[in-house]
Chain A
Amino acid sequence: MSTYDDTLLVARFAALAPEPLTGDWEDILDRAGRARKGRQRFADSLQSRRRRHLVVLAAVVLVVVVGAASALAVRAYVLHQGIVGLPPVGAAPSTPKSGELVLGFTFGHTFGDPGRFRVSVYADGRLISERVGDSDRTDEYRNSTGLLERRLTPEGVELVRAEVISTGLVDHDLHLTSGEGLYFGQIAFRTEDRLVHVTWGDVTWDNVDPDVPRRSPTPEQASALIRLDARLADPASWLPASAWEDPDTKAYVPSGYSVCYEGGQGVGLSRVLALLPPAAENMLRAQENTPGTYTNLRGRFPIWCSELTNEEARALERILDAAGVNSWKDLFGLTYGAPGPGPDATEFSLTFNPILPDQR
């Protein structure tokens, strides 16, 4: 027998074919989603997720217990420290709701989220920054700052722009690998007509082709970026008094949250929502949602995000608390979730991500 007969192959393959399961077109429609908006906001809502899953279990032990606070205590909390979680009742959202991004800067100090610094500067003068804590440290860098807001004058905005331009790296898009002391990061810098993107390290940023060719950074390029990180992390050390409209650091209070929910690899929207308490499920079903996926070292995961006002976010928080759903505040913010069967899995998780002015 020099070749194998086609009919015989059909029979032998048929005998080895597993029995398919029932299909569900409605589940596909759920996964594909319906009318939605705010892709940019969704993208940013994923900002920590790639790495977050690597540390989520470790982070559970870092639960911050926030007891019921008096009104005065709440006000002090708002004024002197960024919000990690939802804003207290009565905290006034930053105005205006939306703003044009002049500079977005992210700088990784490790290959993971811990230590990541980012800052956004808006044409209206707002400078909003955040440093994610590093649980391996015991000093002031251990805890996340939450989102902090200061206000620059137009002169201050121009001085920050000049500092970025002085690196010589934002004349055109530039994509680098990690190395020379760089882990990952990006600059989004507004020129007259567009945002110039500079990226480095093994990450893919929104609006940047993930397959874009990358070059190794030169020592000079790395040095310029490291220096810029230090300057932007402490602008009060070099900006003159005239650069500040309000030099006091306050908590950035968002006017809404992007609430993202997921159920793990291959779990569809309907199944994720069905895992939630019924009132939470009904609330989120009534919202538009943006579907997407994200990838980390454990694989690719579907996720959905809905935009809620602060009041709606608090209502959802109350529903989840009343239902006894586990919650924790970690380096990244407020997360609710129920543990799954595996040692490194959650049955579902739901996170609250503050919406920034350029995401409106």
Chain B
Amino acid sequence: MTSRRLDKGFAGYRTLMNMGGIDSDLEELYRRRQGAFQVMLASVTGSVESARDVVQEAFAQALRDQNGFRGDGSLEAWVWRIAFRVAVGSNGSRELSVDEVPEVAFVDKNADPTFAAAVRELPPQRRMAIFLRYFADLSYAEIGETLGIAEGTVAATLSQAHRQLGAALSTNEVSTNEVMA
């Protein structure tokens, strides 16, 4: 009776005892960047507590599924992709499709409401790119790898996001200042 549902994340499993390769690289990445992972993923999960669990699980999956890392891109971008899949899964039960961008939002809904509202109005890919840039502190190349888009597209996406935010915030903040004056 070999029948049973298996989680996709389990399919690429291999034992830690036989792994040598990128354990230390993953550990170094974790120690250096786990804070940024938590901050960014809290934008997906809604709290830093759940984001921490997602980060833990994502790095554990990365350790288990090292054969899923082909070495033709950055290790960090690969872990980010795993982390987003885990984060989306933690909110429900669905998987993140290849070209799907997770929804992101600020955890604190009350802080800086004008800015939060302007960011909320960005299309999902622009919003994600800007979160990856300013919360996760990723380079254009790493954002491109994480989202599966070209570096030039990242630059264009961020530029459009800047313009849209500029327009929204200049209007709103000027209006607010005028009222306050």
The reply on A324 being an interface residue by CB < 8 A is: no
* Smallest CB separation, B154 vs chain A (Å): 14
CB <8 Å contact, A20 and B34: yes
Chain B: residues with Cβ within 8 Å of the partner, total of: 65
Q: Which of A21-29, A60-68, A226-234, A310-318 contacts B (4 or more CB under 8 A)?
A: A21-29
The reply on B31 being an interface residue by CB < 8 A is: yes
A295 to B94, CA, bound (A): 9
A9 with B5: in contact, given A1-B166, A20-B35 (CB under 8 Å)? no
Residue in A closest to B108 when the chains form the complex, CB atoms: A16
Mask of A275-293 contacts with B, CB within 8 angstroms, 1/0 = 0000000000000000111
Residues of B contacting A206 with CB < 8 Å? 2-4, 6
Q: Main SS of chain A's interface residues?
A: mixed
Size bracket of the A interface: 35 or more
Mask of A1-17 contacts with B, CB within 8 angstroms, 1/0 = 11110100110111111
The contact of B63 among A32, A106, A128, by CB within 8 Å, is A32
The contact of B3 among A13, A118, A298, by CB within 8 Å, is A118
* Smallest CB separation, A185 vs chain B (Å): 8
CB <8 Å contact, A300 and B162: no
Which of A31, A188, A210, A299 has most chain B Cβ within 10 Å? Answer: A31
Tell me the residues in window 48-75 of chain B with beta carbons closer than 8 Å to chain A beta carbons. 48-50, 52-57, 59-61, 63-64
A25 to B92, CA, bound (A): 26
The reply on A297 being an interface residue by CB < 8 A is: yes
Residue contacts A-B, CB under 8 angstroms, 11 given: A4-B163, A6-B162, A9-B133, A21-B38, A21-B52, A101-B2, A106-B1, A205-B2, A206-B2, A210-B11, A299-B91
Binding site for B on A (CB under 8 A): 1-4, 6, 9-10, 12-21, 23-25, 27-29, 31-36, 39-40, 43-47, 50, 101, 104, 106, 118, 120, 128, 186, 188, 195, 203-207, 210, 265-268, 291-300, 302, 356, 358
The 6 closest A-B pairs by CB, nearest first: A266-B53, A31-B60, A13-B134, A20-B35, A1-B170, A32-B63
